Amino acid sequence: MSQPMFSLIFKVIMAELSDYFWLLLIWLASTILFRVIFTKSCIKARRLPPSPRALPVIGHLYLLTKLPHQAFHKISSRYGPLVYLLFGSKPCVLVSSPEMARQCLKTHETCFLNRPKRTNVDYITYGSADFVLAPYGPYWRFMKKLCMSELLGGRILHQHLPIRAEEVKLFLNSMMKKADLREKVNVGEEVAMLANNIITRMALRRRCCDVEGEGHELIELVKEMAELGGKFNLGDMLWFVKKLDLQGFGKRLESVRSRYDTIMERIMKEHEDARRNKKKEEEESVRDLLDILLDIYANENSEIRLTRENIKAFIMNIFGAGTDTSAYTIEWALAELINHPDIMAKARGEIDTVVGKNRLVEESDIPNLPYVQSIIKETMRIHPTGPLIVRQSTEDCNIDGYCIPAMTTVFVNVWAIGRDPNYWKNPLEFQPERFLDKEGLSPLDLKGQNFELLSFGAGRRSCPGASLALQIIHTTLAGMIQCFEWKVGEKGHETVDMEEGPGMALPRAHPLLCIPVARLRSFSLA
């Protein structure tokens, strides 16, 4: 296109825009005026929680940083444990104390049983087919019951114990080889691979460490989907740009879901073919999670008929929730232990006393290792892998004398609650002993009974995979403590920085790089 032609087109476009400039200005002014009047009337009529000063159109978005939980903590430190915010056109409330969390997640739980929909996540997870984001109702209740009885309950976890034990041994054996070579290890990557192998074997009878295999391809796709799902989408906050796709997410979301759909469809058909050809004597063997889901899919008398999209979304949920969270907790815990050698020595002494030096620590040993358990609790208090619990109100609700309007997004800041000096003495210090009493491990648990420690949420929408995650985390960390010294830096005595990075599951800002030094060789890891 010639330059004169381009200039002419540009002038025509600018002339067209100028015709609408005053209309746009009038619309913007009226919007601001309406919001000011509406907000003031709402405050008088319904007494909303305290709120910082909002800007036109964007509301309080200017207060956010790349680490939202830290930004929320600063806001709550100034305005209190219940704060009202507007993110664009979306009303939100910050909850930053155990008392307020208890009111939202227990006392008035029925008002906060839904999760808000986000465009990117909703598309990736097949919309209404997804269990984690599904509205509270018959489908969600059916899937939760299924999780606790058939998919992630005690019986199934016990049946898959050999898988977890074998994968932990393979992981420690790999670390032993690296120790022999004095090779530096990226701890986060290694424990993530371990968690992924356990999940893919339990769910699909595949390992993800084979770069050429479907398991590896699936894990890489889930990582890409999680990254896209965690991106901030302007359309979720500013209604007038919702359909414009200004950030170009549309094609990327379509591509990644299409690739995931293709590989999952292939794996599901392989399972269905194998089920048809299975001999009678093989029917009683341990089934993976996909087999169980396909049984329900094929059962015409099932309470809820699952679709193929339901199954694909659930498998995605398992990968997304069960791998990074476990890996990050182990990585944070080891970083804290390296920075606190006295705590490391005490944990190692407990393991040597209870387990000895002639065999590897096992899952069955964990109940007899209260100090190791307290290390995990303290890690999840100060480095929660779910720093924010996000819910949405389904109706107007009164919390501590304030009105929380229907369709308000509620952020329970688990990260801030875990650092609340009103509940935790010296909250920024890593002190596992705070979870011990004269009789051993204190009754404070991680599964939502204590609102000052909400590592897996609370109430009906708490994480159904908590038991599996804790089994992986405890046994893996105990094995790493038992078998190795972990050296950082050229001299092996450097401290580890504890800076947090951006992400939904609270990753470290910088990878934990260590050289493992073999401590025990009196038993075989092969």
Binding residues: 463
Q: Please state, as a whole number, how many other Cβ atoms lie within 10 Å of the Cβ of residue 80.
A: 16
Residues at the binding site for heme are 463
First to last CA, the chain: 68
Q: What is the CA radius of gyration of the chain?
A: 26
Rounded to the nearest 10 degrees, the angle between the axes of helix 249-277 and helix 214-229 is 150
Give the sign of the dihedral formed by CA 492, CA 495, CA 501, CA 507.
positive
d(CA 114, CA 137): 9
* DSSP result, 212-229: TSHHHHHHHHHHHHHHHH
How many angstroms separate the Cα of 261 from the Cα of each of 29, 198, 231, 278, 305?
Answer: 46, 22, 21, 25, 20
**Burial of 224 per CB tally in 10 Å (0-12, 13-18, 19+):** middle
Report whether 405 contacts 46 (CB < 8 A): yes
- CA-CA distance, 358 to 521, in Å (whole number)? 9
> What interhelical angle do 370-382 and 466-483 show, nearest 10?
110
Tell me how far apart the alpha carbons of residues 471 and 330 are, in angstroms, rounded to a whole number: 12
440-441 and 436-437 as β-strands: parallel, antiparallel, unpaired? antiparallel
Integer Cα distance of 447 and 353 in angstroms = 28
C-beta separation of 104 from 95 below 8 A: yes
> How many whole angstroms separate alpha carbon 90 and alpha carbon 84?
11
